[in-house]
Amino acid sequence: MRSNVLVTGGAGFIGANFVRHMMESTEEVKIIVLDSLTYAGNLDNLSGLNAARLKFVKGDITDASLVESLFEKEKIDAVVNFAAESHVDRSILGPAAFVETNIMGTFVLLEAARKAWNSPEALESARFVHVSTDEVYGSLGETGYFTEETPYSPNSPYSASKASSDHLVRAYFHTYGLPVLTTNCSNNYGPYQFPEKLIPLMVLNALEGKPLPVYGDGKNVRDWLYVTDHCKAIEAVLDRGRLGETYNIGGRCEMQNIEIVNLVCSEVDFLVELDEGLALRYPYEEPRKALIKYVTDRPGHDRRYAIDCQKIETELGWKPEVTFEEGMKQTIEWYVTNRSWWEAILSGEYLKYYDEQYGNRG
Ligand code: NAD
Ligand code: TYD
């Protein structure tokens, strides 16, 4: 059992869900969140948690002296590295931040861990879990799945930067014996996801009666994983994963984008029809499918991702538990209930990005 877990990017979507999960599933672990609070980081994501077991440090993972001093001061014996620039569309608009945070930031963390865990005892008990993506494997055709043996073939600046960080993590195991593990997971959804990503973007636009921008023909396929299932998988890897291994994590739930958008429309129609208050707040006369707008495709848009997660299922006894239907219901209800969370985001600097991204997409 680790005592002082450094969670980088813990104020973001998956990181915050992971912190919440760890606070519930463990009793004594202390969590130190290191997050620079970029546009995607939000302290509200961590509100209401037990301050005695959670320390928040605002800082950048590329800041070597800060990271090294944290390892020493907080006696860090485990790292779960979520901190990243995480959005493919932004990586197309401006790749530099992706190279800086995702590659250099991971390098700084690995170096700090190597310096801090410099005895056989420390190397025996410490763990460095690096959270990565299935996008490093590239794009699939109609059939087949990504396994842990699939060669890397990243296509976007985002996935290329994550692939580079995965290679560094691997090299630190082989060269220095650093106790690392890497996870490559599919698309997550659930509470606290920043509304630039497909599902929350469609939910909020559907509620507000705004166009629903579907890229290309809408038939690109992603595998969807409910975020709490992902958090449980990471905890299993942290506790029981074999050092130096990589684990694919997926929801066994392939969906075309257009199927998801259609489902969001019917679920939002249904919720609004049931509730007079919602109907008054979000008036829209037609079925919300009328809002769907096919727009110019994303450059280099990967066609299909699908994960074979047999290894983590058989080795660590993890499997996804939340069905897509149930997860979507919970997610949509969360966004409907937590209006102030997303209103604060939609009224800020995000608007500029939204206009830039969607303004010219004919
Ligand atoms: P997110 O964008 O919601 O959150 C990222 C967090 O990292 C934010 O809180 C941000 O402030 C912080 N951060 C960014 N740059 C930083 C820096 N230089 N120093 C310190 N903190 C920094 O991302 P997410 O969706 O929660 O993804 C978390 C991790 O999971 C990422 O590594 C991502 O590549 C990976 N992942 C995400 C998905 C997904 O569907 N969201 C799928 C596969 C893998
Ligand atoms: P996204 O949530 O950005 O995740 P990723 O690109 O990492 O898979 O997008 C999921 C899918 O939805 C992807 O195929 C692109 C598509 N998409 C749209 O069609 N419209 C949108 O407005 C967005 C944000 C995504």
Are the C-beta atoms of residues 80 and 234 closer than 8 Å to each other? yes
Q: What angle do CA 76, 46, 112 make, to 5 degrees?
A: 25
222 forms bridges with which residues in the sheet?
255
The residue type at 251: G
d(CA 31, CA 53): 6
> What is residue 296's three-state secondary structure?
coil
Which ligand neighbours the alpha carbon of 162 most closely? 1
- Exposed / middle / buried, residue 98 (Cβ in 10 Å: 0-12, 13-18, 19+): buried
Instruction: Report d(CA 30, CA 224) in Å as an integer.
Output: 30
Q: Which tokens in the block code for residue 33? A: 């969140």
| C-alpha 201 to ligand 2 mean position (Å) | 9
User: Do 20 and 42 touch, CB atoms closer than 8 A?
Assistant: no
pLDDT score for 172: 98
From 44, 86, 99, 165, the mutation candidate for ligand 1 (largest count of ligand atoms within 8 A of CB) is 86
CATH 3.30.420.10 fits 4-190+224-253+304-323, yes or no: no
Contacts of 203 (CB under 8 A, 6+ apart): 264, 268, 331, 332, 335
58 CA → ligand 2 middle, Å: 29
- Catalytic: which of 60, 77, 85, 134? 134
Reading the chain (362 residues) residue by residue, the pLDDT tens digits are: 689 999 999 999 999 999 999 999 999 999 999 999 999 999 999 999 988 999 999 999 999 999 999 999 999 999 999 999 999 999 999 999 999 999 999 999 999 999 999 999 999 999 999 999 999 999 999 999 999 999 999 999 999 999 999 999 999 999 999 999 999 999 999 999 999 999 999 999 999 999 999 999 999 999 999 999 999 999 999 999 999 999 999 999 999 999 999 999 999 999 999 999 999 999 999 999 999 999 999 999 999 999 999 999 999 999 999 999 999 999 999 999 999 999 999 988 898 899 889 987 76
Ligand 1 centre and the CA of 85: distance in Å?
6
Is 27 assigned a catalytic role? Answer: no
Answer for the pair 108, 269: CB distance below 8 angstroms, yes or no: no
Domain boundaries, the chain: 4-190+224-253+304-323
pTM for this structure? 0.98
201 touches ligand 2 (CB under 6 Å): yes
Q: Rounded to whole angstroms, how far apart are CA atoms 8 and 13? A: 12
- 30: tokens are 């202390």
pLDDT of residue 360: 75
Cα-based angle 307, 311, 316 (whole degrees, multiple of 5)? 125
- Which among 163, 217, 224 has a CA at the least distance from the CA of 197? 224
